[in-house]
Amino acid sequence: MRIVSLLAAATEVVAELGCLDQLVGCSHECDYPPAIKQLPVVSHTLIDTTVSSNEIDAQVKTIAHSKELPEQVAMSALSVYTIDAKKLQELQPELILTQTQCEVCAVSQSDVEEALQHNLGLKPHIVSLAPYRLQDIWDDVISIGKAVDREEQANMLVAGYQQRMERLKTLTDQLSKQQGSKPRVAMLEWLDPLMAAGNWVPELVATAGGENIFGHAGEHSPWLTWDALRDADPDIIVLCPCGYDIARTMQDVPLLEKHPSWGTLRAVREGHIYAIDGNAYINRSGPRLVESAEILGRIFYGSESGIEVDAQSFIQLERPAIN
């Protein structure tokens, strides 16, 4: 089977199912596992990602709300991405994996349908994912498994993911009882302007033994005001901007530090600010969400928790000097 994946999370699932040899093309955001980086790329972003977070946000809002787009970006539909229709035709996919959850986050089904209209000879099977909660993500793994004739393996993978999550929840429940309370946590998915994390992230926080104070499971990520952040005064703040690795996230930290409310926050004063690779973890609706929950558990309860994670997956920001 010839597979084109237009969603980074779906690409990771294909790899987990042992079907990388069937993958003939991927999106510009697909970067894991490393073996897929040699594949033809069939999508591109209309966003200049080299500019500031505020400018990126402005670009997204402008494009997403545009009524008319130039002829040369006709493939983009309502999204901020384009599909290389010529490349797609060359690859002759039998299966295309895409999503309908967020037209800003990744190539959408409408993008695919628009591209296929320009290639009438292509009639691939399209599996469109719409993850909002963890159960949706497990269901998506099984849907992909069925599409690639690996349903049994998919069921086994999901069972393994769920068991790891259950073990983590049992451990963090014990740790929170020993500690006497759960840490109140703010997960920041964008830093300028501020946005909290929604969808499956509140479930990750709960599994990791934290109390999520912004955003609700199964709902889109909400915008956040500085007044709301200051009033909530969380115990822990996790910086996990969508699409950013740790190095890119750290470039935005001065934007937070220059705000007059930042230094007044308990989490800042007590040194409980953390940055996670939000591109690999947290925001990507694939197999590594299990590891994401484990990383959060390690952050919430420290090295003494016994939770083992990749040491490069997060960093703790230095506590500011007291004048």
Tokens of 73: 């970006």
Q: Which of 35, 40, 41, 38 is nearest to 20 (CA)?
A: 35
Cis peptide before 287 (omega within 30 of 0): no
pTM for the model stands at: 0.89
pLDDT score, position 115: 61
How many Cβ atoms sit within 10 Å of the Cβ of residue 51? Answer: 11
Angle at 110 between CA 107 and CA 111, to 5 degrees: 45
Tell me the torsion sign for CA atoms 185, 190, 196, 202: negative
Residues of the chain falling short of pLDDT 50: 67-78, 102-106
pLDDT score, position 12: 98
* Structural domains in the chain plus CATH codes: 3-130 (3.40.50.1980), 178-316 (3.40.50.1980)
Rounded to the nearest angstrom, the gap between the alpha carbon of residue 207 and the centroid of all alpha carbons in its chain is: 17
Q: What are the E-state strand segments in the chain?
A: 3-5, 23-26, 43-45, 81-83, 95-99, 125-129, 184-191, 194-196, 211-212, 236-239, 273-276, 314-316
Q: Which helix (H) or strand (E) holds 177?
A: helix 151-179
Tokens of 211: 């109390």
Rounded to the nearest angstrom, the gap between the alpha carbon of residue 159 and the centroid of all alpha carbons in its chain is: 22
